[in-house]
A and B are shown apart, each in its own frame.
Chain A
Amino acid sequence: GAVVSQHPSRVICKSGTSVKIECRSLDFQATTMFWYRQFPKQSLMLMATSNEGSKATYEQGVEKDKFLINHASLTLSTLTVTSAHPEDSSFYICSARDGGPSYEQYFGPGTRLTVT
């Protein structure tokens, strides 16, 4: 149980275009989803927290107009990287919580974004 999927697993886009990444909880309802960014050989950096039906809460230094997050249902959150630039190239990982008393998060497999 507690499976989280991400789509696509890899994407290459041209500078200036936008890319949407989907995160789905497959067998549970995710009241809260999180988006992380992982640089090579570094840790996961939390970008934003999103609760179903409300606006995402962004971490300090993360541009909310550049990284658009939508959590329209209890099983789907999307991250759209707008006007992507090469410095946005990274590994983006989502995770989800089921709203229970445990603070455990279930992680997706990640999406490798390369901006050329």
Chain B
Amino acid sequence: AQSVSQHNHHVILSEAASLELGCNYSYGGTVNLFWYVQYPGQHLQLLLKYFSGDPLVKGIKGFEAEFIKSKFSFNLRKPSVQWSDTAEYFCAVNPNTDKLIFGTGTRLQVFP
């Protein structure tokens, strides 16, 4: 079945550690890719998006993601996390329709 997978359900890091969150999707053809963040008690915010062009996408707050078409992946990275990055992170895919299909989310906890 078509789906979006986030294999890391809960990640715990110390400040300054590097972060990589995995996202894989199973849709064929052209897709648009997104990473959203949900800070505690707040609404979903867009971190970054990929539509076309350079597969390495830079977003807000020092986040970046790389689209690897051959691996159907769009992993999120940050070289040095901060306590304020503690949040829920969602990968989402738009398979050329109006719909956004979300992954199950990854809860990131960063300890000072």
Contacts and interface: CB of A to CB of B under 8 A. Distances in A.
B25 interface: no
Nearest to A49: B98
Interface stretch (B39-47, B59-67, B78-86): B39-47
Interface residues of A, number: 20
Interface residues of B, number: 21
Contact of A103 (B32, B44, B103): B32
B98 A97 contact: yes
A43 B100 contact: no
B104 interface: yes
B43 A93 contact: yes
11 contacts: A34-B98, A34-B100, A41-B105, A41-B107, A43-B104, A93-B43, A103-B32, A103-B94, A104-B46, A107-B43, A109-B42
Interface of B: 32, 34, 36, 42-46, 49, 51, 90, 94, 98-105, 107
Interface of A: 32, 34, 41-46, 49, 93, 95, 97, 102-105, 107-110
